[in-house]
Structure 1
């Protein structure tokens, strides 16, 4: 009697386990159909996401470029506001050989001017330890540079070049190479700088002998 009961229980368990395994699984065809459905649904979604990300990158790059251009224009505007003399096209052409890149067709000066700049804390004061400031002349040139430099846009860029006068003194001071006067240490003129003339005639403007050596 006991043996028959055990056999009945075992057969019942085996049948129930087969039923569970049969109802809980997936056939290979069902899996393939599910994969195909997922593929057809996810592919357009992935394409849409890639398009959105690509558009976002382009818009971000455009916004950054516009911000950098505006920053550069603001800097040039502040620079020109300090100008005391701005060369016209004929004047730039006349002194181009005396500027930074003579004879280089890929680098064209588009804006050249003289400005006065304040040099702080350079001249010893009569009393106290604080030093006074003074103004010096600078020649500034903005160049349009066309080259294939991979660091930039491979098309064109704007570069700034400047040479500045030194802070001269009547007594004491140091010698500066290429100059006969005395200057405060650490404030020699830039190499090739020639003093700006407050008053010069038309010949000076076109010869350019007042700008640089």
Structure 2
């Protein structure tokens, strides 16, 4: 009895191709999903680490403050692009829509023979011996990207999906003097000729019920123990089409979106009257 080998019929081939396409489609979706999850996890880890570093850095600088500008203080940081307030206008301490933290940082312990300003030339001689004006504030990410050169080390990279997020910026200016700043001249210090540098990316902009980025509690006059600065950080980024937040958000209520750290300055009372 003879046997005959049969080939696949057209219907069998079509069914096999359809099944193969289904398996391939499912596998590709799984691969894309895994890749997206890995990207989001990496973004979350990076944001958490960078946010914690920024919090600790600001807190360390606040602890060295000799004076913290109180709520209601208007500050002129100049008209440069790195100091542009979200929404425009002047910086005002205590404004929740465009918060700013500003203080006078005390110098490091250095010998009198190594002063801030050279006694003859009047030029900066030793930065560690200088009192410093320090400020932290947000700038809209899209504004910064559109106005700062892409060749600059201070350029965060284009990211149109996150253009409405904030950059947290640090602004510093040495107070060029070999004598103590006085409480009387704090309001007329020339601090408007510096520029800001990015400290942290993807900061959550102000929304109703969100804790302010900075809050200052200070009596007047400021005395040791009666000044405290609180930082309320929240980060938000779209990565691979999904929202990544730091810290994790337990509810839709913005009041639950922040990570908080407080610091008390330890050099309050060292400035001259």
Whether TM-score is above 0.5 comes out as yes
Is the CA contact 1:143–1:158 (under 8 Å) kept in the aligned structure 2? Answer: yes
Query: Any idea what the Cα deviations from partners look like across 1:129-162, whole Å, max 9, x if unmatched?
Result: xxx9962211111122125244364221111111
Q: Distance in 2 between matches of 1:80 and 1:70?
A: 15
**Which of the residues 181, 191, 202 maps onto 1:197?**
181
Q: Distance in 2 between matches of 1:62 and 1:134?
A: 36
Secondary structure of residue in 2 paired with 1:117: coil
Name whichever structure is richer in helix by fraction.
1
Distance 1:133-1:141 versus aligned 2 partners, 3 A rule: closer
Secondary structure of residue in 2 paired with 1:100: coil
Aligned to 1:154: 163
1:79 is aligned to 2:61: yes
CA-CA distance at 1:48 after TM superposition: 2.5
Distance 1:100-1:71 versus aligned 2 partners, 3 A rule: farther
1:136 is aligned to 2:130: yes
Structure 1 or 2, whichever has the larger Rg, is 1
User: More relative contact order in 1 or in 2 (CA 8 Å, sep 6+)?
Assistant: 2
Corresponding pairs, count: 152
Q: Distance in 1 between matches of 2:136 and 2:6?
A: 77
Query: Any idea what the Cα deviations from partners look like across 1:85-123, whole Å, max 9, x if unmatched?
Result: 1101223x1xx13x2348954364611101123387983
TM-score (norm 2): 0.45
CA RMSD between the two structures: 3.7
Distance 1:64-1:134 versus aligned 2 partners, 3 A rule: closer
Is the CA contact 1:115–1:140 (under 8 Å) kept in the aligned structure 2? Answer: yes
Aligned to 1:56: 38
Aligned to 2:139: 145
CA-CA distance at 1:23 after TM superposition: 2.9
CA-CA distance at 1:75 after TM superposition: 1.1
1:112 is aligned to 2:128: no
1:32 is aligned to 2:41: no
Is the CA contact 1:139–1:211 (under 8 Å) kept in the aligned structure 2? Answer: no
Query: Any idea what the Cα deviations from partners look like across 1:63-104, whole Å, max 9, x if unmatched?
Result: 21122111111111111111111101223x1xx13x234895
Unmatched 5+ stretches in structure 2: 92-98, 116-125, 146-156, 193-273
